[in-house]
Amino acid sequence: MAQVLEFKLPDLGEGLTEAEIVRWLVDVGDVVAIDQPVVEVETAKAMVEVPCPYGGVVTARFGDEGTELPVGAPLLTVAVGGSPEQAAAPAPEAQKAPAASDAESSEYSGNVLVGYGTTGPAARRRRVRRETPVSAAAVVAAPVVPAQEPVAAPPGPVAVISPLVRKLARDRGLDLREVRGSGPEGLILRADVESALAVRDRAAEAPAAAPAPAPVAVAAAGGRSGMGVSPAEGQGRVPLRGVRGAVADKLSRSRTEIPDATCWVDADATELMAARAAMNAAGGPKISVLALLARICVHALSRFPELNSTVDTAAREIVRLPSVHLGFAAQTERGLVVPVVKGADGRTAESLSAEFARLTEVARAGSLTPADLTGGTFTLNNYGVFGVDGSTPIINHPEAAMLGVGRIVPKPWVHQGELAVRQVVQLSLTFDHRVCDGGTAGGFLRYVADCVENPAVLLRTL
């Protein structure tokens, strides 16, 4: 006898509480194997494929593409065990999903999300069910036999034995959860599906409701009277969710909680660029400018550890962090992300260059994991790639500082008492004024600029 198990959205790690369904990888009726990815979801940190810990036949899916579900909400149900015919059409008595304590069965893999092991399904917070056109049509339908009136979708899978009945409903776009079965123990029969389809068809033929009045023009952003703008004139709304929502929340929190200040300086990067050219001419993997700036940055943090810290507001303490986990801003099709190079203070310029390249490629492919995007202690923001000279970066909460780097361009510069054309870059440091004063921040930025202008300065302590 087949048993129907309910698979809930697992805890994806790193404190994430919800995820948006991007794409279903299976349909109702498909046979899935243990740990086979069944849905692609987007969290506030990354896009991941969620594997199912059960093997069997998918009997129901919960949520359309674009639906945002909380952790613990049902994703799908799978009929496991029994013959293939029974798995494809579980009996009514097997329709109830087991409790969390029953989920530890031989059909459960324990690997809900590869790389984020769990001990069992996440606890349910609330059930999220998609609304279908059937329920809306049933509201305005003519009176029908009571047994066929649309009902609220019951929790869990539906009581359907016949694959033909399920296929008929699927082909006609009918949600079986909205159908009341007239068979034994609420079993849905072919006649029930045909009656529900007839109700929907009659509702579709009903006279359309009177058109709603035209929308009242709203005041323009400037507040001037007589300048109304209706939504039809191009106004649009974009939901703040996924990566965009996470960025908005984090930046808003940074501006709200952190009393930041910014200082900046221009630096002559001619010698740094010459040193990079000499390194790359010697053979071996190429060294990027970002890697050299990162090496300078982590070394400066060893001299000014106040900037590699965070503020514990509850304890009213500054927490000095022992290692530098360096975040760097990367622009992708999904928006701005900040991958983190773990243990950056123990890496060479060659190792940093390789890790920057790897994480950037993974970010652009949309395959970063939550672990790749968390744990940073300091951020390096190279906005010069956008062709701009300067900026006042917003600190990546809960870090204490961010170094911004503008474009490196030829400019007139006084060099050794004479006017010359040199490669000049603007550096800016935004810092949390709670962790240090301007003297510390200025000292850090000046040391970074000195190393950019004369890379030999680093040789004294390497």
Q: Which residues are catalytic?
A: 433
Report helix, strand or coil for 365: coil
The rounded distance, in Å, linking the Cα atoms of 420 and 111 is: 62
Locate 225 and state its tokens. 């009277």
Residue 9 is encoded by which pair of tokens?
A: 């959205």
- Which residues are bridge partners to 49 per DSSP? 40
Residue 416 CA to chain centroid, in angstroms?
51
398 upstream amide cis, omega within 30 of 0: yes
Token pair for 129? 């069910």
Count Cβ atoms below 10 Å from residue 401 Cβ, excluding itself.
27
Contacts of 417 (CB under 8 A, 6+ apart): none
Q: What distance in Å separates the CA atoms of residue 185 and residue 74, rounded to the nearest whole number?
A: 23
The arrangement of strands across the sheet holding 18-24 comes to: 47-52, 36-42, 18-24, 68-70
Q: Nearest-CA neighbor of 290 among 211, 347, 216, 357?
A: 357
**Residue 433: CA count within 13 A, CB half-sphere:** 8
d(CA 334, CA 191): 47
DSSP state of 55: -
Q: Rounded CA gap, 423 and 412, in Å? A: 9
How many Cα atoms sit within 13 Å of 242 on the Cβ side?
19
Query: Within a 13 Å sphere around the CA of 202, how many CA atoms are in the beta-carbon half?
Result: 13
Q: What are phi and psi of 318, to 5 degrees?
A: -95, 125
C-alpha triplet 45, 372, 389: angle, nearest 5°:
85
Q: In this structure, what are the phi and psi dihedrals at residue 132, rounded to the nearest 5 degrees?
A: -115, 160
Contact (Cβ atoms closer than 8 angstroms) between residue 363 and residue 332 = yes
